[in-house]
C-alpha cells in the first residue's frame, strides 16, 4: 500500500513549475534551451531593497516574527492599499505569507468545507483548482474564450453560481492570458455578485503594476465598496518588485477571515522570512520609478512576441493588456505532422515538439484549462526572446 494519502491523488505537481524545472535541468545537461515557462521577471531585485534586507540582518531581525506579518510590514501594506487602491485595511485586516501562493492557499484552507464550490474563470492560473481540490472544495470552471477577450462575462458568472458557491476567483491582469478587466467590466461583475450575498470574492492582484498602453488597473473592492466586506484582496511583491525568491505575499480582507488564515499559517510555516519582510517594507515604501522603467521594457517585449508569433504558420497571438504572458492559439498546427512524422494532436504535443525540435520551453494550454493554446512568459532578455520567436516560427514552418 502506498504511503501517499488518497487526498493527494486529487492534485498534481504545478505544471508551470514542472516546465521551468525541466528547462533548467536540460540546460544544466548542456542542451541549448530557451525557457519561456517561468512566470518571473528576469530583472534583478533593486538595490535599495537588497540593502534593506542586509540592514535587517545586521540589526538582528533574524528571529520569529508575528505569524501573519510584522507590524512594520502590515503598516507599509496598509499604506500601499490606501495610496494605490483607495482601500482602508487596518493591521487586523492584513495578513502576510510566504508568497501570494501561500496567502491564497491559507484562504481556501480556512474557508472551504467539503463540497463547497469555487468559481474559476478559465483559462486560470494552474494552482487555483488544485488548491481548491486539496481543501476538499469543488472547482467550477467558466470558459472565457478568446473572442470574449478571455474575460468572464456577467451572465456566465451568474449562471455558474449555486447555493454551494463560496468564492469566485478573479485574476487581473491574468495569468496565463495577460487580459485585464476595466473598471466598467468589474462593475458589471460586481452587479451580479451583489445579487448573491453568500458569494465571496478572491481578487488576485499580483500583476497589478504590470499593465501597458495606459491601461488603468482597478480592483473589485474599490470599484464596488459594497463588496468590500466579502472580498479578499491578494497581492505580493514577487512580480512588480522582482522578488520571486524572497517569498512575500499579502492580502487585505475582513478581520474574521484574516484571523482564520493566520490559524492555518500558525500550524504550517509560521511567519514568512523575517529578512524578506524587512525587504518588502523597503519595496512598498521606497522608490517606485523602476517599475515604469521595467514596464517599458516588458511592453516592447510583448509587442515583439505578438508580432513575431503572428508570423508563424498555424499560430495566432492576441495582444494582452498586462502581466508578462501571451497566450497564443495553436489551433492551426493541430492535425499537422512533425518532420519525423509524429502527429500534433494537442497543445501538449505542440509544447513537446517545440522543446525537442528547437529547444524552446513553453507551457501547454491544457494546464490552464483552455485549449488549444500555449503560454509564453516574455520576462526574458529581449535578444533571447527574438531568438526564441525565430525558432518557434522555424518549427511551425517545418510542420506538414
Ligand atoms: N497568483 C498568480 C496569478 C500568479 O501567477 C502567481 C505566481 N506564481 C502567484 C499568485 C503567486 O506568486 P507568489 O507566491 O510568488 O507571490
Ligand atoms: N506564477 C508563476 C507561473 O505561473 C510561477 C510558477 C508558479 O508558481 O506557478 O509561472
Concatenate the DSSP letters of all residues of 310-355 into one string: TTSTT-B----SBTTEE--B-GGGTT-B-TT--B--SHHHHHHHHH
Distance 338 CA to ligand 1 centre (A): 34
**Ligand nearest to the backbone CA of 239:** 1
Task: Give me the pLDDT at residue 86, please.
Answer: 98
* pLDDT band at 208; cut points 50, 70, 90: very high
Beta carbons of 190 and 155 less than 8 angstroms apart: no
Q: How far apart are CA 386 and CA 269, in angstroms?
A: 41
Report the atom number in ligand 1 closest to the C-alpha of 16: 8
What pLDDT score was predicted for residue 88? 98
Looking at the CA of 102, name the nearest ligand.
1
To which residue does cell 502506498 refer?
2
Strands 360-361 and 325-326: unpaired
Predicted confidence (pLDDT) at residue 38 exceeds the cutoff of 90: no
Distance between Cα 126 and ligand 1 center (Å): 10
Q: Give the number of the atom of ligand 2 that is nearest the alpha carbon of residue 14.
A: 9
Q: Tell me the residue length of the chain.
A: 400
Q: Give the residue, by CA position, lying nearest to ligand 1 atom 5.
A: 175
Q: How does pLDDT run across 144-168, given as a tens digit for each residue?
A: 999 999 999 999 999 999 999 999 9
Q: How far is the CA of 395 from the centre of ligand 2 (A)?
A: 26
Among residues of the chain, what percentage have pLDDT more than 90?
Answer: 98
CA-nearest residue, atom 10 of ligand 2 = 39
The Cα-based distances of 138 to 115, 144, 195, 228, 319 in angstroms read 6, 19, 22, 24, 32
- Measure 38 CA to ligand 2 centroid, in angstroms: 6
Per residue in 238-288, pLDDT (tens digit) is: 999 999 999 999 999 999 999 999 999 999 999 999 999 999 999 999 999
Q: What is the mean pLDDT of the chain?
A: 97
- Measured CA to CA, the distance from residue 190 to residue 58 in angstroms comes to 47
Instruction: Find the helix or strand (DSSP H, E) in which 118 lies.
Output: strand 117-122
**What are the pocket residues of ligand 2 if the criterion is a CB atom closer than 6 Å to any ligand atom?**
14, 16-17, 38-39, 101, 126-127, 175
118 Cα to the center of ligand 1, angstroms: 18
SS3 145: coil
Q: Name the residue among 387, 346, 336 with its Cα closest to residue 36.
A: 387
> If pLDDT is split at 50, 70 and 90, which confidence band does 387 have?
very high
Distance CA 35, CA 23 (A): 6
- Tell me the C-alpha distance between 315 and 146, whole Å: 14
Domains of the chain: 6-44+290-397 (3.90.1150.10), 63-285 (3.40.640.10)
Ligand nearest to the CA of 247: 1
For the beta carbon of residue 391, count every other beta carbon within 10 angstroms: 17
Residue 277 near residue 50, CB atoms below 8 Å: no
Establish how many alpha carbons lie within 13 A of residue 321's alpha carbon, considering only the half-sphere containing its beta carbon.
19
Residues 345-377 have pLDDT tens digits of: 999 999 999 999 999 999 999 999 999 999 999
Give residue-wise pLDDT tens across range 224-242: 999 999 999 999 999 999 9
Residue from 24, 125, 379 whose mutation best tests the ligand 2 pocket (most atoms within 8 A of CB) = 125
**Ligand 2, pocket-test mutation among 11, 12, 13, 14, most atoms within 8 A of CB:** 14
Q: Is the CB of 15 under 6 A from ligand 1?
A: no
pLDDT at 213: 96
Please tell me the distance between residue 356's alpha carbon and the centre of ligand 1 in angstroms. 28
pLDDT at 318 over 90: yes
Amino acid at each position: 500500500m502506498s504511503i501517499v494519502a488518497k487526498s493527494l491523488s486529487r492534485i498534481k505537481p504545478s505544471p508551470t513549475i514542472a516546465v521551468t524545472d525541466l528547462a533548467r535541468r536540460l540546460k544544466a545537461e548542456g542542451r541549448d534551451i530557451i525557457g519561456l515557462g517561468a512566470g518571473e521577471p528576469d530583472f534583478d531585485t533593486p538595490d535599495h531593497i537588497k540593502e534593506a534586507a542586509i540592514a535587517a540582518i545586521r540589526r538582528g531581525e533574524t528571529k520569529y516574527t508575528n505569524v501573519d506579518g510584522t507590524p512594520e510590514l502590515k503598516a507599509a501594506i496598509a499604506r500601499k492599499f490606501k495610496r494605490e487602491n483607495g482601500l482602508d485595511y487596518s493591521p487586523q485586516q492584513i495578513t502576510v505569507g510566504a508568497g501570494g501562493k501561500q496567502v491564497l492557499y491559507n484562504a481556501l484552507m480556512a474557508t472551504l468545507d467539503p463540497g463547497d464550490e469555487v468559481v474559476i474563470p478559465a483559462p486560470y492560473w494552474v494552482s487555483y483548482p488544485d488548491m481548491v481540490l486539496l481543501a476538499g472544495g469543488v472547482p467550477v470552471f467558466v470558459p472565457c474564450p478568446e473572442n470574449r477577450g478571455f474575460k468572464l462575462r456577467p451572465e456566465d458568472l451568474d449562471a455558474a453560481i449555486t447555493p454551494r458557491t463560496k468564492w469566485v476567483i478573479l485574476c487581473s491582469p491574468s495569468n496565463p492570458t495577460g487580459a485585464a478587466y476595466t473598471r466598467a467590466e468589474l462593475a458589471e461583475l460586481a452587479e451580479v455578485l451583489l445579487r448573491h450575498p453568500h458569494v465571496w470574492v478572491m481578487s488576485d492582484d499580483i500583476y497589478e503594476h504590470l499593465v501597458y498602453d495606459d491601461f488603468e488597473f482597478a480592483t473589485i473592492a474599490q470599484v464596488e465598496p459594497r463588496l468590500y466586506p466579502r472580498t479578499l484582496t491578494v497581492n505580493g511583491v514577487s512580480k512588480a518588485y522582482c522578488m520571486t525568491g524572497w517569498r512575500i505575499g499579502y492580502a487585505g480582507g475582513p478581520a474574521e477571515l484574516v484571523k482564520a488564515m493566520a490559524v492555518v499559517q500558525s500550524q504550517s510555516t509560521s511567519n514568512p522570512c523575517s529578512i524578506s519582510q524587512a525587504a518588502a517594507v523597503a519595496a512598498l515604501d521606497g522608490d517606485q520609478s523602476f517599475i515604469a522603467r521595467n514596464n517599458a521594457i516588458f511592453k516592447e517585449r510583448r509587442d515583439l512576441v505578438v508580432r513575431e508569433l503572428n508570423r508563424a504558420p498555424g499560430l495566432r497571438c492576441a495582444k494582452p493588456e498586462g502581466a508578462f504572458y501571451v497566450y497564443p492559439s495553436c489551433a492551426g498546427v493541430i492535425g499537422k505532422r512533425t518532420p519525423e512524422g509524429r502527429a500534433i494532436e494537442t497543445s501538449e504535443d505542440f509544447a513537446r515538439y517545440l522543446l525537442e525540435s528547437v529547444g524552446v520551453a513553453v507551457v501547454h494550454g491544457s494546464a490552464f484549462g483552455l485549449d488549444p493554446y500555449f503560454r509564453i512568459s516574455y520576462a526574458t532578455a529581449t535578444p533571447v526572446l527574438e531568438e526564441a520567436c525565430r525558432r518557434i516560427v522555424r518549427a511551425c514552418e517545418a510542420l506538414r
